Amino acid sequence: MTDIHLKVFRYNPEQDEKPYMQAFAVPQEAGTMLLDILNHVKWQIDGSLTYRRSCGEGVCGSDGMNINGVNGLACITPVAGLKQPIHIRPLPMMSVIRDLVVDMKHFFEQYRSIKPWMQHQKAVPERETPQTPQQREQLNGLYECILCACCSTSCPSYWWNGDRFLGPATLLQAQRWISDSRDEAQDERLDQLEDSFKLYRCHQIMNCMEACPKKLNPAEAVGQLKTKLFKRQS
Ligand code: SF4
Ligand code: SF4
Ligand code: FES
């Protein structure tokens, strides 16, 4: 059987002057998903290759990377459909800590800024707060986000204004909490988003939707937030 050929971005700031692409050849039987192939490189060829992964099945969101120019999760990307050599790089425009590991601190600070937890103005109920099936349905397409950052790091507006624009992932999460019938801080949440940079730097270019490995539509969520703010003014 022929080998699978890859070229992987390498950069160890402690010893490399600059990043470079390293070629590897991995036997076909190493596995069917790209993460299997990276694991083979790490475990059998070069233990210094560094990347994040945990669940191995598209749930934890930790192995977001740029695969042949497109962001995705290595664990749910079949090798069979990829042109070779497979070029694997870190998520675009993120600061590289080492090889495929990028600094997610700012991304998660932005996520925390939207207060991604249930807020009660009145006393916290002793029992759970019920929802009707229709109310629960409002969360579909939002709650499934695994915060892999594939969308935000494919968004040109986020590349250029990521310090102040919250980006598609965090905005989709904001819409998730604003759409939750049990939450009592909708107005405060909308107040926080009413800002020319935080929300309105989205120009509906739709890269985010194409990049999402969970097939979510952050651009639509951003549009819904804009509509809610518009309705509130009128
Ligand atoms: S639709 Fe908005 S959030 Fe999505 S990629 Fe385009 S500018 Fe970014
Ligand atoms: S919306 Fe999709 S691409 Fe963006 S962080 Fe969530 S799961 Fe990842
Ligand atoms: S390893 Fe968890 S999503 Fe890929």
* pLDDT tens sequence across 87-114: 999 999 999 999 999 999 999 999 999 9
The pLDDT assigned to 168 comes to 97
* Multiple choice CATH, 3-102, 3.10.20.30, 1.25.40.10, 3.30.110.30, 1.20.120.1810: 3.10.20.30
Q: Which atom of ligand 1 sits closest to the CA of residue 218?
A: 4
Of the listed ranges 10-19, 49-58, 199-208, the least confidently predicted one is: 199-208
**91, 107, 110, 157, best to mutate for ligand 1 pocket (most atoms within 8 Å of CB):** 157
Q: Beta 64-67 vs 101-102: how paired, if at all? A: unpaired
Domain coordinates in residue numbering, the chain: 3-102, 105-233
* pLDDT tens sequence across 220-230: 999 999 999 99
CA distance 63 to 76: 10
- Residue 58: left (phi > 0), alpha (psi -120 to 50), or beta? left
According to DSSP, the residues that pair with 6 across neighbouring strands are 24, 86
Q: Beta 70-73 vs 86-89: how paired, if at all? A: unpaired
Ligand 2 binding site (Cβ under 6 Å of any ligand atom):
145-151, 168-169, 172, 211-212, 214, 216, 218
How many angstroms separate the alpha carbon of residue 90 from the centre of ligand 2?
16
Nearest of 173, 153, 142, 162 to residue 72 by alpha carbon: 153
Segment (H or E) for 174: helix 167-178
According to DSSP, the residues that pair with 72 across neighbouring strands are 65
In percent, how much of the chain has pLDDT > 70? 100
The pLDDT assigned to 196 comes to 87
* Residue minimizing CA distance to atom 2 of ligand 2: 212
**91, 93, 222, 224, best to mutate for ligand 1 pocket (most atoms within 8 Å of CB):** 222
**150, 207, 210, 220, best to mutate for ligand 2 pocket (most atoms within 8 Å of CB):** 150
* Residue minimizing CA distance to atom 1 of ligand 1: 204
Q: Beta 3-10 vs 86-89: how paired, if at all? A: parallel
* pLDDT tens sequence across 23-41: 999 999 999 999 999 999 9
How many angstroms separate the alpha carbon of residue 14 from the centre of ligand 1?
35
How many angstroms separate the alpha carbon of residue 214 from the centre of ligand 2?
7
CATH number, domain 105-233: 1.10.1060.10
Ligand at minimal distance from the CA of 143 is 2
The pLDDT assigned to 128 comes to 85
